Amino acid sequence: MKSRFLLILLAGVCFGVGLGFLVLISGNDTVKPPATGSHLQDFTLKDLNNNEIKLSGLRGKPVLINFWATWCVPCKSEMPLLEQYYLKLKDKIAFYGIDQQETTNVIMPYLKENGITFPTLLDETGEVTRKYFIQGFPTTYFVDGDGILRAIQIGPLTVAQINTNLNALGIQP
C-alpha cells in the first residue's frame, strides 16, 4: 500500500514538473517587453471623442506615447512640459497620452483643469499597458516614423531628455 502511494505521488510530481516545463517553454518567446530598435506591437485605442487610433496608422510620422493616470503625481508635474512640446511640434510628431483604465468622467475634467490639449487615448482594459510592460507612471516611448521604438523613459521627463530623444527621431525642438 505504501509503495503504491509513493508510486502515485512520484507519477504526480513527474507529471507536474513536465507540465510546468512545457508551460515554461511554450510561447515564452512570444511575449517580450518592447526593446529599443524593434517594431512596437500594434494597438488600437479610442480617443476621448470615441475615434479609433491605430499605432500602425501613424506610420510616416514620429510618435511620442506617454502612459499616465490622473492619480499619478509625477504625471501631473510632467504634463505641462509635454503640452509645451506638443503645441510647438505637433506638425512634426504625433503626441498621444494613454490613460490607464480611467473613465472620461475622470479624465476630461483633469485635462481641462490642467490645460492639457494633446490627444489622450483610453486604455480601458489595461491591455496596451500590459502589452508594453509598463511598470510605472509616467512612462514615455519615442517611436520613429517606421514604427521602431527609439527610446523609453520611465519617470517624469526633463527638458534635456525630451530634446535628446526628439533629436534621435530627427526632430529639432
| 33-168 fold | Glutaredoxin (3.40.30)
- The string of pLDDT tens digits covering residues 14-72 is 333 333 333 333 444 456 889 999 999 999 999 999 999 999 999 999 999 999 999 99
pTM of the model as a whole: 0.81
pLDDT at site 9: 39
Q: What is the mean pLDDT of residues 138-165?
A: 97
- CA 22 – CA 16 distance, rounded (Å): 10
Residue pair 150/142 in contact by the 8 Å Cβ criterion: yes
pLDDT at site 31: 63
- The string of pLDDT tens digits covering residues 69-89 is 999 999 999 999 999 999 999
Q: Is 1 a residue whose pLDDT tops 80?
A: no
